[in-house]
């Protein structure tokens, strides 16, 4: 399995855990609380394997963090009916742009 595919799994698991954290209502709901623990567990194990496979930590973490921020924001807007404005969209774009620059810089 490629490092980037495994990184995508880590991102999906982290986003699942984060969204479930909101749905757990302060860990007062058992089902979402279990998903939080499982999601973060899978995310960290997958990320550790990605790092073991040789992907630089700065690149891996930047991609993981930026994709997570963007995905959680999108899930919040689409499924949880949270508000988003132009300033927030700009912030997400800057985070993603920063990751692109880190990736480009690591290739030199």
pLDDT in tens, 74-108: 999 999 999 999 999 999 999 889 888 888 888 77
pLDDT in tens, 22-39: 999 999 999 999 999 999
Report pTM. 0.88
Q: DSSP H helical segments within the chain, as ranges?
A: 3-23, 30-52, 57-78, 86-106
- Say how far apart CA 9 and CA 6 lie, in whole Å: 5
Report DSSP state, residue 16: H
Side-chain-side CA neighbours of residue 104 (13 Å): 6
- Say how far apart CA 5 and CA 44 lie, in whole Å: 15
């Amino acid at each position: 399995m490629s490092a980037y595919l495994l990184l995508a799994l880590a991102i999906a698991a982290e986003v699942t855990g984060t969204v479930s954290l909101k749905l757990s209502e302060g860990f007062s709901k058992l089902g979402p609380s279990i998903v939080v623990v499982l999601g973060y567990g899978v995310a960290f194990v997958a990320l550790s394997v990605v790092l073991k496979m040789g992907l630089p930590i700065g690149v891996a973490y930047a991609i993981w963090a930026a994709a997570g921020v963007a995905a959680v924001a999108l899930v919040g807007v689409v499924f949880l009916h949270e508000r988003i404005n132009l300033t927030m969209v700009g912030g997400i774009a800057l985070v993603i742009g920063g990751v692109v620059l880190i990736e480009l810089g690591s290739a030199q």
